[in-house]
Homo-oligomer: A and B are copies of this chain.
Amino acid sequence: MAMGSFGWISLTTDYGTFDGFVAACHGVIARQAPDVRVIDVTHHVPPADVARGAAVLAQTAPHLPPSVHVAVVDPGVGTERRGIVIETPNGLLVGPDNGLLVWAAEALGGIESVVELTNEDWFLGDISRTFHGRDIFSPVAARLALGAPLTDAGRTVDPQSVVRLPDPVVAIGDGWIEAEVVTVDRFGNVQLAASGAMLRGLGPELLLSGSVKARRGQTFGDAGPGELIVFEDSAGRVAIAVNGGRAVVVLSVTPGDVVRIAER
């Protein structure tokens, strides 16, 4: 397994920016790998919402330069859950083995190998039980970015042993799609697990969840003010928006809910 070095590390956490947690991770990286640059994906994953963190990272990582991606949404920190590195054809992923990294690994070309972080020489000297982002994942990422061999990080493990989140519900029939809400963005747009290609079989006039009228379109302005539009979003997923409003409020849904889109 020949590894090169990486010029970039990305960070995705639920740490927020109210405390100094994110800065401590930046600091640990800067001390060990001062020439590596950091891109913050987001630190506003809702606390312990692993699926949300997984979705944001998977949709963002392909747009970043080749990186060591660190992700920490980790309600099991300090317990027996493993820390891992996943190798993909387009970068490395470092974080807890709780499903957080897998969707991003697939978006980066698939899992090539997995190493459990068992080499304590790579950790900070005095490891806290509650802040592995600072004490384990950041220093490991710094070493990997500098070109240290992945296999030096610990023990190679079977990719089949990696924890996966349940696949979100997606079903398609004649004139309808049913799909789980994956995320709701800042604008209140509702993103479904269905891929945008699934829209091709549907006509222009739609009904959402049996009662809400919507139109197919390509962008917000394709509907009148206040009207709902169903479109392929910038991540290639089916999404629902309101021109000038918040679809999440109109539909009253939350991630995990299933939305049915049917022709009228």
Contacts and interface: CB of A to CB of B under 8 A. Distances in A.
B186 A15 contact: yes
A130 interface: yes
Given A17-B42, A75-B220, A218-B78, A234 B131 contact: yes
Interface stretch (A43-51, A147-155, A159-167, A170-178): A43-51
Given A31-B65, A186-B47, A233 B20 contact: no
Interface string A239-264: 00000100000000000000000000
B231 A63 contact: no
Size category, A interface: 35 or more
A237 to B, nearest CB: 11
Identical copies of this chain, number: 3
Given A128-B234, A129-B218, A220-B78, A30 B20 contact: no
A63 B133 CA distance: 12
Contact of A244 (B19, B39, B48): B48
Contacts of A79: 219, 221
B18 A65 contact: no
Interface stretch (A54-62, A108-116, A203-211): A54-62
Contacts of A123: none
A7 interface: yes
A28 B41 CA distance: 13
A216 interface: no
B219 A78 contact: yes
Contact of A41 (B23, B185, B218, B219): B23
A19 B234 contact: no
A16 interface: yes
Interface of A: 7-8, 10, 12, 15-21, 23-24, 26-28, 30-31, 34, 37, 39-44, 47-48, 56-57, 59-60, 63-65, 75-79, 128-131, 134-135, 183, 185-187, 218-222, 231, 233-234, 244
Given A19-B186, A78-B220, 13 more contacts: A17-B42, A17-B43, A18-B186, A20-B41, A20-B59, A24-B60, A24-B64, A26-B64, A47-B187, A75-B244, A78-B218, A129-B218, A135-B234
